[in-house]
Amino acid sequence: MNQSTNNKTAYVTDLKSLQAECTSNFLRLVRLLGDSAAGERIDISLGRDDRSFGCLHLEIESRAPYTTVLRVSQSGVLEALIDSPRMRVHLYHDVRMAEVTDFQRKRHFQGRYRYPNAQMHQPDEKLQLNRFLGEWLDHAIAHGHTADVSPLG
């Protein structure tokens, strides 16, 4: 066998993409949270026409001058069948970035993982989690309604 086919190149963290995603998520969350205070929860009904796909919950755990800690979860139609997604997100106001720090009760994700690994993390797990948050928030902005039934998009 050719030696070059045996050697896999190690995944290199795409720091530029990760930072761009975290910056975009910060802007999305600031738009959704407004001036909500610690302890407040924003419920965004997800649906279209007369169909409900559940509710996105944004709960502010703490708010300080430089950092806000937020719990993001969803409830809805598939809740009895699958474990609904939930994550903790830190918003860093000084650098205008939001980072997923906890997903499904797992925390402290590395920038890259060797693959395969015991936890079966993807090599770019941290980037994928932050992209998922971005897609989730984009969906809420496009198709969500707040409690007063006003569209967000």
Q: How far apart are CA 153 and CA 144, in angstroms?
A: 7
What is the percentage of the chain residues whose pLDDT exceeds 70?
69
Q: Give me the phi and psi of 28, to 5 degrees please.
A: -60, -45
Q: What is the pLDDT of residues 95-119, one digit of tens each?
A: 999 999 988 656 556 555 566 657 6
Q: How far apart are CA 97 and CA 85, in angstroms?
A: 21
What angle is formed at CA 125 by the lines to CA 4 and CA 143, rounded to 5 degrees? 130
Q: What is the pLDDT of residues 30-71, one digit of tens each?
A: 999 998 999 999 999 987 777 777 899 999 999 999 999 999
pTM strictly above 0.85: no
Return mean pLDDT, the chain: 81
What are the structural domain ranges in the chain?
28-145
